[in-house]
Each structure stands twice: as structure tokens, then as C-alpha cells.
């Protein structure tokens, strides 16, 4: 069943906060409601399985790997009513008009992604998606230093915080990243404003 009005839902927060698990929870509910679903993910994210969205907890759902958001329209099935996009921070600026077009066509679009990179800087196109969304859920993880709510992703290199000028995108999991609170998030060589 098609929705009367399209909408954009964004699930965001740091690594290990449960973004993908929340996305998968919404997809399971949509399956129960007999929605027609199509899921997309970055093609280079092969941490667990190239053709599945997989959470750190091991939950998964079939997904179509793409290298560019323009591929979504080309691969979109006609009967789909819900489009989900995982790891949206990795896609280029074309994600904005593609998502807007899907919503304008009456589709429910759920996007999950990091709101900030390891430096604590807004990540990719996520700020625009957050601003345009009808529903935004910002999740929190647990700080690996103090146990408080974590809102940041700490990248570690040989157990030490990565430098501000290190490459922004390095796909990894708990071997390279930790959730941290604002007080324990460290970024050496950060430029002062």
C-alpha cells in the first residue's frame, strides 16, 4: 500500500549507538504491515556482507550495494513503498535530490548514518538530510571511557586518537573506533576556530 504522503525519517548518532538495529527494527515492522521494501547501502562497505545491511549486533536485511546515489533510481522496483539507505554519510551530494524525489513520489524513506565524523565535524550530506526530515531520531551510545552517554565516534590508531588531518573515511568497527562522550573525545592537531 502506497502512503498518501511521502516522508523522510533519519536515524543518526555515533558508531555503536544502534542506528542500523533501529533501521532493521523499522524494516521488520514494515514487513508485518506488508510494505514493499528496498534497501540500499554503499558498495564499498563490506565489513560483514556486501549484499546485506548488518548491525554490529549481527542483525541483517538484504540490501542492494551501490557506488552512487544516482543508482537508486535506476534500480528502484516499481511496487516499492519504503526505501531504506544505510550509511548515508558516505554518499555524495546527489543523495539530497534523490531522496527528495522519492519522498515527493509518496515513498517512505528511512536514512541511517553518522551525524559527525571521527573529528566531531558534521559528516557528508547528513546535516541537510537531518534538516529536511519529518522524523529525526538521534541515538546515543555508551562512552567506552566513563560509561556516560556517548555522542561522538573516536577513531583509534594503534590505541591512540587519530589526528584531525587523518583521512576521514576508513571503514572499520570496534578494532578502530569507540563511542565517546564529549569530554573523552580527543582529536589531536584539531584546528582552533
Cell of 55: 548491525
- Contact residues for 28 (Cβ-Cβ < 8 A; gap 6+): none
Which residues form the catalytic set? 87
Q: Which residues contact 188 (CB under 8 A, 6 or more apart)?
A: 161, 163, 164
11: its cell numbers: 536515524
Neighbouring CB atoms inside 10 A of 154's CB total 24
The Cα-based distances of 140 to 9, 55, 147, 164 in angstroms read 17, 15, 11, 23
Grid cell, residue 20, equals: 542500523
Cα separation values, 75 from 5, 40, 69, Å: 22, 10, 10
Q: Which residues contact 3 (CB under 8 A, 6 or more apart)?
A: 81, 106, 107, 108
Amino acid at each position: 500500500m502506497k502512503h498518501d504522503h511521502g516522508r523522510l525519517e533519519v536515524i543518526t548518532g555515533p558508531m555503536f549507538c544502534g542506528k542500523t538495529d533501529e533501521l532493521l527494527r523499522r524494516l521488520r515492522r514494515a514487513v508485518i504491515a506488508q510494505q514493499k521494501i528496498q534497501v540500499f547501502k554503499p558498495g564499498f562497505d563490506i565489513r560483514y556482507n556486501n549484499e546485506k545491511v548488518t548491525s554490529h549486533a549481527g542483525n541483517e536485511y538484504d540490501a542492494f550495494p551501490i557506488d552512487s546515489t544516482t543508482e537508486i533510481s535506476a534500480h528502484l522496483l516499481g511496487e516499492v513503498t519504503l526505501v531504506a539507505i544505510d550509511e548515508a554519510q558516505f554518499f555524495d551530494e546527489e543523495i539530497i535530490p534523490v531522496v527528495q524525489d522519492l519522498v515527493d513520489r509518496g515513498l517512505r524513506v528511512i536514512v541511517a548514518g553518522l551525524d559527525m565524523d571521527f573529528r566531531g565535524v558534521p559528516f557528508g550530506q547528513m546535516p541537510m538530510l537531518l534538516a529536511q526530515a519529518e522524523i529525526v531520531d538521534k541515538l546515543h551510545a555508551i562512552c567506552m571511557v566513563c560509561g556516560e552517554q556517548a555522542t561522538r565516534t573516536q577513531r583509534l590508531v594503534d590505541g591512540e586518537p587519530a589526528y584531525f588531518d587523518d583521512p576521514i573515511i576508513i571503514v572499520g568497527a570496534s578494532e578502530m573506533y569507540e563511542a565517546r562522550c564529549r569530554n573523552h573525545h580527543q582529536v589531536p592537531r584539531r584546528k582552533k576556530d
